[in-house]
Structures are given as C-alpha cells and as structure tokens.
C-alpha cells in the first residue's frame, strides 16, 4: 500500500509540473520570447512545436515497435495489422532495420533541436512577473522544456509501444516516419558512422555481418562516395560550430566565457555518448552469467546494481537516462546553434548559408555522429570493457536517482489516457507468447539484431564452425537459410527423442 501511495503521489506531482511547464512554454511563445517566435511568428512557433512534439512521439514509439517486432514472424499479424505488416516487411528485409535506425537517430536529434528553437526561452526571458527563482529553475536551466519534451514526446509513447507494439505501429504516421528515416539514411549524411562501425568491428575482431549479398562495384562506389561526403559535412560542421563558439556567436547564455562553452560542448557530447553506449552495453550483457561479465571491480558493481532483485533498475535506468539525455541535448542545442551578435555573417557567408547555420542543423549532424551512433557501436563491440569504466557506474547512479525523483512519472498517466483512447492491447492478444508461437512452428528469430550488434550464426551458439563455412554463410543467404533449417530440424528431433525417452 505504501509503495502504491508513493507511486500515486509521484504521478500527481509530476503531472502538475508538466501542466505548469506547458503553461510557461505557451506563455513564452505568445510573448515572443522563443527563438522561432522572434524570427518568424508566435503562431508559427506554436504549430511547429506541437507538430514536432507529436512527430517525436511517433519516432520514439515506432522505434520500440519495429525493433521489438523484428524477430517475430510478421505473417502472424498480416491480416489483423496490415500497416504494421507493411512496415516490418520493409525493416525485416536485409539490413533495412539498420538503415532505418541510422536515419531515425538523426531525426530524433534534429526534431529536438527544432522543438528547442520553437519553445526554448531566449536569453533574459521573463514571464508574468514570476519570481526569479522560478525563472531560474524553469527557464534558465530549460527545465520546463525538458519535462515537456520527455513526458509528451518520448516516454508516454515508449511506455505503450513497449507492450502494445502491433497496435502502436498500425498507423500510417508510423509508416511515413519509417520512409522518412530511410530517405535520410539514403542521403548519406550519417554514412561516416558506417566507417566507424567497420573500424570498430575490425578492432574487436568481429567484423559486422551483413544480411545482404556483397555489393557490386557500382554500389560500392556509391556507398564510399557517401561516406566521403558525410566526412566532409562533419568536418565542415565542426569548423563552423567551433568558430562560432570561440567568437561567442551562438545562443549560449550571456556571461558564459567562450572557453567554457567549448569545454561544455565536448563534455556534454561525451555524457550523451556514454548514456547512448550504456544502454547498448547493459542489454548486451543482460543474459550473461556473472562470471561472463568479467571480474573488474567497476563492472561487478555496475551489474550488481543494475540486475539486483527482479532487475527493475534496468527500466529505471532507461527512464532516468531519457531525462538526462534530453537535458544534455537542450544545452548542446544552445551551445551549437549559431546566432551572430553583429550585422555580419559568419565567415562572410551569404544570407542563405547563414540561415542554414542558424537552424542548428550542423549541431545536429555533429551530435548524431560523434555523440550518439559512434558510442553505440563501441559499446556493442566492447560491452564488458564499457562496463569496466567507472564513469558508467557514476552515470548509472545518477540516472536511477533521476528516475526515483518521479519527475517524469506523469508519462505513465499520459500513456494510460492514450492507451484507453486508441484502444491498445498487449501483443500477446494477437500473436500469443513466445512459447505459443514456437508451438505453432512460427517461433521468433533470436538472431535478429540492430545496428552495431554482432550477429551470431544461427543454431550454432555452442559449436565451433569452420571459418570457411562461416564465410559461405555470410556470402550466400541461401546457405545460411539451409543451415538454419537443418539446425532447427536437429533441435526438433532431439526434443522428440527426449519426449519418447521420458
């Protein structure tokens, strides 16, 4: 009873904070005290903010659904959820899920940058004569925007999509988001991340396994051309951003020295990167034994804290992590968004190019490649080494503290409302449990993996395969499929024999 009362209290006060934050943000917009409200019009800022916020919820929920449904035979829900079937038919083909995740990562960061431009307060903003301490807490630190974005745009959709993937994904907005993410990936903006992925895999001695046939010469040329293009864009973005930082021409708060802004930029990028990598490393070792997690003191401390009891600290970390990451993103947005103090443009650029600098687009490129995807790939290749870093334990403690405060507990209330209105049901209602699917001979593909994950060869988890057979399976999908079928038949025969012996 006491636990339920505490949860109810957290949900109540968190919802009150959310309502207050919404009122403050709307007040800032209509008193022309946000970036976009000043540059365009308050009405434009209002609509951009809410459109981006709603879209962000689809991006976050869609990712949870597409990744979660990836191992499941989508023929099970072809008739009951046609839109979900269409989406997973795309991401289940070849390396398309990896491509979607790559484009999706940039979408999230760029959408958050736009949300901050639309609703984030300009330096020196004041509202309705509110006391200075309220201004400092909710406006200067960006606390109001952080709560607003986390609870409405991210956590409430993640809560529902984690249990009701089929119903959540069965929406044309999710299909549009999937195709948009794929289109972003095709442009090659993030392709430098693939180079990092390849290098990390080679260093780990575990080359990344593709689910597609080898690329042709033309496809290789197109791929590496985009890698070079991405490297050039990243270099240009870093040059512009650092130049603006050292000259004090960003939206960073007044009075913060340029040197401090530069240090804060790289420090927050590292924190975001650590948090992005931590979630990968934590899930990578979740099913390992204590012995397999290594004997490093920090790794043991981290795992003991994370998986103690019923393992509820893992989802607790995810909630605290989301709050921490969004907080960092908003500050990074201020640090990296160019805003010239005088009449001249940066480097004497044209007004059109200066307009691009002012959008925060270049900061989003830097954060996506260097502050997000790269760290995920390192953590997927070296999860044990990642856990052995003492900073991992410190950040885990911090994220669990943030979750325990209940600041984002209002997301549970919003999720309940959304679930009721849209009639979501748990996935088991439609496709049964994993055991029931296995009994129907439509079991899950346990070898499905996301971007940066090292794929195990199917059916041979405990066996040493000849290198030549491994190479053949990688090069020829039909051979891999045959090996899967043989392995599955062997397992079924073994189970049948055991039943007969009993």
| pLDDT tens profile 430-443 | 777 666 666 665 55
- Tell me the average pLDDT across 401-420: 84
Q: What's the average model confidence in pLDDT over 177-188?
A: 90
pLDDT, tens digit, 9 for 90 and up, residues 219-266: 899 999 999 999 999 999 888 888 888 887 777 777 778 788 888 888
**Model confidence at 47: pLDDT above 90:** yes
State the average pLDDT over residues 185-194. 86
* Domain spans in the chain, listed from the N-terminal domain onward: 2-456, 457-502
- By mean pLDDT, which of 24-38, 294-308, 413-427, 434-448 is the weakest? 434-448
Least confident of 62-71, 187-196, 209-218: 62-71
Do the beta carbons of residue 137 and residue 143 sit within 8 Å? Answer: yes
- Averaged pLDDT score across all residues of the chain: 78
Give residues with Cβ within 8 angstroms of 172, minimum separation 6. 83
Please list the alpha-helical segments (H only) found in 92-216: 96-119, 132-134, 143-148, 156-163, 165-169, 172-187, 192-203
Report yes or no: 169 and 84 within 8 Å, Cβ to Cβ: yes
pLDDT-based confidence at 52, cuts 50/70/90?
very high
Question: Does position 211 have pLDDT exceeding 70, yes or no?
Answer: yes
126: left (phi over 0), alpha (psi -120 to 50) or beta: beta
Exposure b/e, 223-253, CB count within 10 A at least 16 = b? eeebbeebeebbeebeebbeebbeeebbbbe
Asked if 346 contacts 357 with a C-beta cutoff of 8 angstroms, the reply is yes
Q: What is the pLDDT of residues 304-347, one digit of tens each?
A: 887 776 656 766 787 788 788 877 877 787 777 777 776 777 77
CB-side neighbour CA atoms (13 Å) of 402: 22
| DSSP 8-state secondary structure symbol assigned to residue 251 | S
Query: How does 368-402 read in b/e, with b if 16+ C-beta sit within 10 Å?
Result: bbbbbbbbbbbbbbbbbebbbbeebbebbebbbeb
Q: Which of 162, 403, 455, 64 is nearest to 284 (CA)?
A: 455
Enumerate residues 6+ apart whose C-beta is below 8 A from 110.
360, 361, 364
Task: Return the top range by mean pLDDT from 133-137, 332-336, 383-387.
Answer: 133-137
**Is the pLDDT assigned to residue 488 strictly greater than 60?**
no
């Amino acid at each position: 009873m006491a636990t339920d009362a505490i949860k109810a209290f957290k949900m109540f006060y968190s919802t009150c904070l959310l309502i207050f934050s919404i009122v403050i943000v709307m007040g800032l917009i209509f008193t022309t005290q946000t970036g976009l409200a000043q540059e365009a019009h308050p009405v434009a800022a209002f609509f951009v903010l809410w459109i981006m916020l709603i879209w962000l919820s689809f991006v976050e929920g869609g990712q949870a659904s597409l990744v979660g449904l990836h191992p499941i035979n989508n023929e099970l829900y072809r008739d009951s959820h046609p839109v979900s079937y269409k989406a997973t038919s795309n991401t289940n083909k070849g390396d398309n899920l990896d491509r979607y995740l790559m484009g999706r990562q940039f979408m999230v960061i760029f959408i958050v940058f736009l949300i901050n431009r639309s609703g984030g307060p300009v330096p020196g903003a004041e509202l309705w004569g509110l006391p200075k301490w309220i201004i400092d807490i909710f406006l200067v630190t960006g606390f109001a925007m952080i709560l607003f974005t986390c609870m409405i745009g991210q956590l409430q959709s993640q809560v529902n999509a984690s249990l009701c993937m089929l119903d959540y994904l069965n929406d044309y907005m999710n299909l549009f988001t999937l195709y948009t993410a794929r289109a972003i990936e095709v442009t090659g903006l993030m392709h430098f991340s693939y180079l990092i992925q390849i290098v990390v895999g080679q260093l780990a001695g575990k080359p990344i396994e593709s689910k597609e046939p080898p690329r042709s010469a033309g496809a290789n040329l197109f791929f590496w051309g985009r890698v070079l293009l991405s490297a050039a864009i990243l270099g240009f973005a870093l040059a512009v951003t650092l130049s603006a930082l050292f000259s004090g021409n960003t939206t960073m708060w007044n009075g913060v020295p340029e040197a401090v802004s530069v240090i804060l930029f790289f420090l927050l990028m590292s924190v975001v990167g650590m948090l992005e990598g931590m979630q990968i490393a934590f899930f990578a070792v979740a099913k390992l034994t204590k012995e397999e997690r290594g004997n490093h003191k920090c790794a043991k401390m981290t795992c003991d804290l994370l998986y103690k009891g019923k393992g509820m600290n893992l989802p607790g970390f995810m909630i605290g992590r989301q709050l921490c990451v969004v907080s960092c993103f908003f500050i990074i947005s201020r640090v990296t968004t160019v805003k010239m103090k005088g009449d001249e443009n940066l480097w004497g650029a044209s007004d059109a190019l200066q307009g691009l600098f002012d959008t925060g687009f270049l900061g989003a490129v830097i954060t996506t490649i260097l502050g997000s995807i790269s760290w995920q790939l390192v953590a997927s290749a070296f999860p044990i080494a990642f856990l052995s870093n003492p900073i991992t334990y410190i950040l885990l403690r911090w994220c669990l503290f943030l979750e325990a405060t209940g600041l984002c507990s209002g997301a549970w209330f919003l999720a309940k409302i959304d679930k009721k209105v849209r009639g979501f049901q748990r996935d088991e209602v439609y496709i049964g449990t994993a055991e029931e699917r296995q009994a129907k001979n439509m079991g899950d593909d346990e070898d499905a993996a996301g971007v940066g994950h090292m794929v195990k060869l199917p059916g041979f988890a405990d066996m040493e395969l000849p290198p030549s057979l491994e190479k053949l399976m990688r090069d020829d999908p039909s051979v891999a499929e045959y090996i899967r079928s043989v392995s599955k038949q062997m397992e079924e025969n073994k189970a049948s024999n055991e039943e007969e012996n009993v």
